[in-house]
Amino acid sequence: MIPFTLVLALTTFTQATVNVIHYPPKSTNLNNLTFVLNGTGAPGIFNSSITPASLPYSTTYNWCNMPHVRTTEYVTPSEEYTLKYIEVIQRHHKRTPYNTNTFFIEDITWDCTGEGPVVYGKGPVGITSDPTVVQWAAYTNPNNPWTDSVGPGFVGSNCAFPQITTGGINDSYNHGSDLRSVYASRLGISTTLSPSTFQIRVTNNVITSQVAGGLLRALFPDTNDVAALIQSDTYDSLEPVYNCPNANSLFTEYTTDSANWTLHLTDALGLYEQLDNVSGIPLDDTAGWHTSFDHYYDNLSAKQCHSKPLPCSVNDTTICVTQDEADEVYRLGNYEYSFYYRDAEESTQYSALHYGAWVLELTAHLMDVVQGKSEVKYFHNVAHDGSIAPLLGFMQISEMVWPGMGSEVIYELYEKSSSASSSDSSTSNFFLRVLWNGQPMETSLPLGTNSSGVLDMIPVEDFFDYVNTTIGTGSELFSACNN
Ligand SMILES: *[C@@H]1O[C@H](CO)[C@@H](O)[C@H](O)[C@H]1NC(C)=O
Ligand SMILES: *[C@@H]1O[C@H](CO)[C@@H](O)[C@H](O)[C@H]1NC(C)=O
Ligand SMILES: *[C@@H]1O[C@H](CO)[C@@H](O)[C@H](O)[C@H]1NC(C)=O
Ligand SMILES: *[C@@H]1O[C@H](CO)[C@@H](O)[C@H](O)[C@H]1NC(C)=O
Ligand SMILES: *[C@@H]1O[C@H](CO)[C@@H](O)[C@H](O)[C@H]1NC(C)=O
Ligand SMILES: *[C@@H]1O[C@H](CO)[C@@H](O)[C@H](O)[C@H]1NC(C)=O
Ligand SMILES: *[C@@H]1O[C@H](CO)[C@@H](O)[C@H](O)[C@H]1NC(C)=O
Ligand SMILES: *[C@@H]1O[C@H](CO)[C@@H](O)[C@H](O)[C@H]1NC(C)=O
Ligand SMILES: *[C@@H]1O[C@H](CO)[C@@H](O)[C@H](O)[C@H]1NC(C)=O
Ligand SMILES: *[C@@H]1O[C@H](CO)[C@@H](O)[C@H](O)[C@H]1NC(C)=O
């Protein structure tokens, strides 16, 4: 039965936004609870940034370093299409866990000597002397009696939780290098960054700037100073952090308050007991360890992506997390993301509200190019899983996963030579190809050739229409969030 509050909420949304239709995702092992709980194996690679050459690159999920565009797999469209603009949005690369995801007592330490984040101020080029590079070195001092209050897990580690690790900086650099090898010639981008044709945007979480540093070194090898765009942390659309109470209450209704969601948590109580035995997390924990698998997933996968062993209990070193248990956590984590952003019927509405502001900015960028109002050829956003996931939800991707480290969506805008295009004056000659894992994105939307859902050279107006019907204008989105 649908709770009364949900009926009310849906009525409100229906009035405020025009026409959100949820097209369900494909049924796969990822969103099959029987397989998630009773199947075996990890749903991809969780222990290395390198996908072995024996596996297909684009279709192999690698949590540590997701597939992105590379020269090897890139498909060049036919000659009648000219690439005019790309907008890239990616998740940051691999990192230490967040402090909220560290066990209270940790038997595995993290050494960040010499790889801390660089944080310093500087004046404009040529005005002040170049400052000395200042790097943060996280440390604890037992004379500070509050040190243990956040958990003795930090003792013995000298990293910020989170920070991008050396491996993650390396992956960022490789990612920039691959983007450069595909797009530099196609877009006419030189080795020096020109702000009139290229822009980069980060979030208020410094790990996105840590990634930008590695990425830009390879993208623009001859540029040393870059201004990254950043919105206020009260309304940033990229992370996103803008206030949308109706999105939040909708999300709570179909997760916390829904038996469809809580089912997998009760079914996994046995697994929880084993994990808690190692971590010491109490069953009545209120820090989120038992409301989803997010924390265990992050804690275990961060270790494995950095070739660290799975943890053991600090009280009894014979009780350790097994690989089978970790694999089940990884299956559950992907199941949860599929539920949050695709399987739940309200998830499309949620994504449209929660990520609509960024989509409106993207749409305006595309329109500016179509209307010849912008010289920007390439806009690059460095963001989070919490950014990519609702974007994939909004795009109604056919197979939803938890977007891993470095996962990437690219909007490629092409102009078709006019001799080959239709005479229909209601459409431009501009076409959109959307890439996920470096390949045209497969969605459940009735778009693309024969409504196949593959976003490969769809008239850009089809995308504009979809945005218009699901999100509407900025003021419509604002009122859908708040009324
Ligand atoms: C998993 O297998 C067990 C034992 O065979 C069974 O009782 C349970 O119903 C299965 N779980 C699901 C979700 O199918
Ligand atoms: C779900 O997975 C189980 C176990 O592998 C399988 O028997 C079942 O057919 C699957 N269900 C669907 C709808 O694919
Ligand atoms: C990573 O895990 C796979 C199995 O999931 C295993 O075959 C492989 O040897 C592991 N690689 C490393 C570097 O530990
Ligand atoms: C992971 O959990 C363990 C609990 O065994 C805890 O000690 C550790 O701090 C956590 N580590 C990270 C990096 O999350
Ligand atoms: C950096 O990336 C390259 C290419 O994937 C890899 O061969 C190398 O081992 C990586 N180095 C580190 C420190 O991660
Ligand atoms: C649970 O899922 C079923 C089938 O997907 C759906 O019909 C039902 O409305 C959902 N219930 C809630 C409370 O979301
Ligand atoms: C957890 O630890 C307790 C005490 O060490 C033990 O009795 C119990 O069997 C363990 N449970 C699991 C699921 O391993
Ligand atoms: C280890 O033992 C201490 C003292 O009994 C207890 O407080 C803590 O929860 C235990 N930790 C784990 C991971 O079981
Ligand atoms: C798609 O539609 C075209 C006609 O518009 C047809 O020629 C083609 O066979 C169709 N392709 C598929 C895969 O159905
Ligand atoms: C958006 O849709 C509304 C109503 O469906 C329509 O009146 C309006 O022209 C559309 N706006 C754009 C920019 O397409």
pTM score: 0.91
CA 102 to CA 157: how far, in whole Å?
A: 12
Give CB contacts under 8 A, 24+ apart, made by 188-196. Answer: 188/377, 189/220, 189/377, 189/378, 190/222, 191/220, 191/221, 191/222, 191/223, 192/220, 192/222, 192/223, 193/219, 193/220, 193/223, 193/226, 195/227, 196/375, 196/376
CA 333 to CA 407: how far, in whole Å?
A: 16
The reply to whether ligand 5 has any atom less than 6 angstroms from the CB of 167 is yes
Domains recognised in the chain with CATH numbers: 33-247+344-482 (3.40.50.1240)
- What is the pLDDT at residue 153? 45
The reply to whether ligand 3 has any atom less than 6 angstroms from the CB of 48 is yes
Can you tell me which atom of ligand 4 is nearest the CA of 161?
13
Residue 450 is classified by DSSP as: G
165: number of Cβ within 10 Å: 22
- What is the pLDDT at residue 199? 97
For a ligand 4 pocket test, name from 94, 96, 101, 321 the mutation site with the most ligand atoms within 8 angstroms of its C-beta. Answer: 101
Can you tell me which atom of ligand 8 is nearest the CA of 279?
13
CB 20 within 8 A of CB 470: yes
CA-proximal residue: ligand 8, atom 5 (nearest): 315
Can you tell me which atom of ligand 8 is nearest the CA of 103?
13
pLDDT in tens, 105-115: 566 777 888 88
CA of 335 to the centre of ligand 2 (A): 14
- Type of residue found at 336: E
The reply to whether ligand 1 has any atom less than 6 angstroms from the CB of 37 is yes
- What is the pLDDT at residue 2? 33
CA 243 to CA 220: how far, in whole Å?
A: 35
CA of 342 to the centre of ligand 1 (A): 24
Four-residue CA torsion sign, 282, 287, 289, 292: positive
CA of 275 to the centre of ligand 8 (A): 13
Of 337, 260, 233, give the one whose Cα is nearest residue 294: 337
- What is the pLDDT at residue 140? 76
CB 205 within 8 A of CB 232: no
CA of 30 to the centre of ligand 2 (A): 10
CA-proximal residue: ligand 5, atom 10 (nearest): 170
- What is the pLDDT at residue 103? 55
- Type of residue found at 143: N
432 DSSP β-pair partners: 413, 458
For a ligand 4 pocket test, name from 98, 100, 104, 108 the mutation site with the most ligand atoms within 8 angstroms of its C-beta. Answer: 108
- What is the pLDDT at residue 294? 96
Ligand nearest to C-alpha 271 = 7
Can you tell me which atom of ligand 1 is nearest the CA of 33?
13
- What is the pLDDT at residue 427? 72
Q: Who contacts 57 (Cβ-Cβ below 8 Å, separation ≥6)?
A: 51, 67, 70, 72, 73, 438
DSSP labels, 208-246: HHHHHHHHHHHHSTT------B---TTT-TTTT----HH
2: number of Cβ within 10 Å: 9
The reply to whether ligand 5 has any atom less than 6 angstroms from the CB of 170 is yes
Q: What is the mean pLDDT of each run of 10 residues along the chain (483 residues)?
A: 36 52 98 98 98 98 98 97 98 81 64 79 76 80 71 62 89 98 97 96 94 96 94 96 97 96 97 95 91 95 95 92 98 98 98 98 98 97 98 98 98 86 68 98 97 97 97 96 94
- What is the pLDDT at residue 9? 41
